[in-house]
Chains A and B, each alone.
Chain A
Amino acid sequence: MQRDQIRNLISILDLSVDEINGLIDVANDIDQHPERYQEACRHKQLATLFFEPSTRTRLSFESAMLSLGGSVLGFSSANSSSAAKGESVSDTVRTVGNYADIIAMRHPKEGAPMIASQHTVVPIINAGDGGHFHPTQTLTDLLTISRKKGRLSDMTIGLCGDLKFGRTVHSLIEATLRYPNIRYILISPEELRVPEYMIDELKEAGADFEEVTDLEAAMPQLDILYMTRIQKERFFNEEDYLRLKDTYILTPDKLKNAKSDLSILHPLPRVNEISVKVDEDPRACYFYQTLCGKQIRMALILFLLGIHPEEQA
């Protein structure tokens, strides 16, 4: 196959709205009829090339492929890979492209999956590149929202926590901007506000948004609350981190004025930004999200490999 005919997923914007809606339909069909898919990727291999560890994401990909009847190979940290010996991304991919049918790659450097896609005819899925993109997380978020709300339009989304460095936040905004009538409430400490270029994108799209610092005050308006972690490594000094990390902890108390059909999402892993007491609340969707994450990855693998078991149903 020619390289320009290969579909990759480097950024969420590589997929059209129609394609995303199609993936959501397949993921829903997988949920209803898993047996239709259990042999779909027989004799196909997924390589998970994780140049930095992310057990959660890797397991999600591997579980997705195994549930499609395929098999998996790969490595889970740069230490155990040829990268430790100084091999380039392009050389690694040229080699692995001869073993596997599809590759999921995580890399600490931004743009590494894009380089990979230029050196193989095997589809590349970006499983996270530095602070840049993590499109399968965004697909997971979209599937979760669509299942919980029955739509991806007409709602108020509150994004809370580290909005400056939180790549999942930026991708979710970029993805949902393409759906009609979404309002954004951007809740963060002053220091971790959404970067200027995102504000420009919101303005350019004519989106309705406001930036606030008070989570509780915003709560009654929200249909979706997307919580993110305030990461220690984002701060220059310990003092700033300690001062800010507890500011936006979600507790049952802060939820008392929330809508009864609010959905609380979080890309996980959680540290302490959501109290464990919230886990029992039916509005907590963050563990349900991991199921959505597996099913949308199944749909994505099928899409990129051009396999359509749902058509035979």
Chain B
Amino acid sequence: MNIDGVTTGIVLDHIQAGKSMEIYEYLGLDKLQSCVAVIQNVRSAKYGKKDIIKIDELIDLNLDVLGYFDPNITVNYIKDGKLLEKKHLALPDRLTDVLHCKNPRCITSCEQEIPHVFELVDREKKIYRCIYCDTQVRV
């Protein structure tokens, strides 16, 4: 793992090639004061090509949302040049206000303040289910 340039911060590694900008935007990294590097199409022995995001600050990341975007990402927390922790992501069991239920008969369609909550029903097929109306979505 190349952590060059980050002494204290987070490196998101093994991002599916081409997906880094989407993640950059979703995490709101443009609003950070610290240095953020998005590196695209890095050669990877495992995946062929991958993207990497380096953040020069230890920020709070919503790993559930990140895991939903791309369950293959590894998150490296670095402090004083040393790897503090390495996290392998997975599809989260529960997603709140990430997916939105499209069933027009769902209670969430008429009561705006209800959070959209989905539960993972099939990890292999990547299927989530709205906890209110049971509508299933494949992500």
Q: Which residues of A contact B (CB under 8 A)?
A: 88-90, 107-112, 114-115, 129-132, 197
Chain A residue nearest to B114 in the complex (CB): A115
7 A-B pairs whose Cβ atoms sit less than 8 Å apart in the complex: A88-B111, A88-B113, A110-B133, A111-B131, A112-B132, A115-B114, A130-B105
Find A132's partner among B109, B110, B111, B133 (CB 8 Å cutoff).
B133
Cβ–Cβ < 8 Å partners of B130 in chain A: 111
The reply to whether the CB of B108 lies closer than 8 angstroms to some CB of chain A is yes
- Name 10 extra pairs, CB < 8 A, besides A110-B107, A115-B107: A88-B113, A89-B111, A90-B111, A109-B107, A109-B109, A110-B105, A110-B133, A111-B107, A115-B132, A132-B134
| A112 and B110 alpha carbons, distance in the complex (Å) | 10
Are A108 and B111 in contact, CB atoms less than 8 angstroms apart? no
Find B106's partner among A88, A89, A90, A109 (CB 8 Å cutoff).
A109
The reply to whether the CB of B7 lies closer than 8 angstroms to some CB of chain A is no
Q: How far is the CB of B104 from chain A (nearest CB, A)?
A: 9
Cβ–Cβ < 8 Å partners of A132 in chain B: 105, 133-134
| A114 and B132 alpha carbons, distance in the complex (Å) | 7
The reply to whether the CB of B8 lies closer than 8 angstroms to some CB of chain A is no
Q: Which of B107, B131, B134 has the most CB of A within 10 A?
A: B107
Chain A residue nearest to B136 in the complex (CB): A197
Within 8 A of A (CB), among B74-127: 103, 105-111, 113-114
Find B131's partner among A88, A114, A130 (CB 8 Å cutoff).
A114
